Structure formats: structure tokens, C-alpha cells
Amino acid sequence: MLSNFKQFVKKNQEDIILVVGVILISLLSFAVGYITAEDQGKTPLKIERQIICPRV
């Protein structure tokens, strides 16, 4: 079973590296965006009353 896994990894090494790279870049991009948004410290939008529109 372990030899089958090794053969699979050797056969698909480039694809595995590509998928891992895309996942790491996605996680890094999300983390940078989250940290940047957190630093801005904007106050949340507060809705005080609902505007009711008449039906047309």
C-alpha cells in the first residue's frame, strides 16, 4: 500500500506541488486582507430605521 502511494506521488508530483502552492497563496492572500481590514478600524454601519417604499 505504501509503495502504491509513493508511485502515485512520483507520478503526480508536479500537480501536487501546484495544488499546494495555490492553496498556500490563497491562505496568505486571505490573511493579508484580513489583517489590512482589521487595521482600518472602521465603525460598523448602523441602521436606525427602516424605510418602507410604496408598492408600484
Strand, coil or helix: what is 11? Answer: helix
C-alpha angle with apex 13: 24 to 26, nearest 5 degrees? 15
Instruction: Give the chain's radius of gyration (CA, Å).
Output: 24
Q: Check residue 7 and give its pLDDT.
A: 95
The CA distance from 1 to 19, in Å, is 23
Provide φ and ψ at 55, rounded to 5°: -70, 140
Cell of 10: 512520483
Extract the residue ranges of the chain whose pLDDT is less than 50.
none
How much is the pLDDT for 27?
97
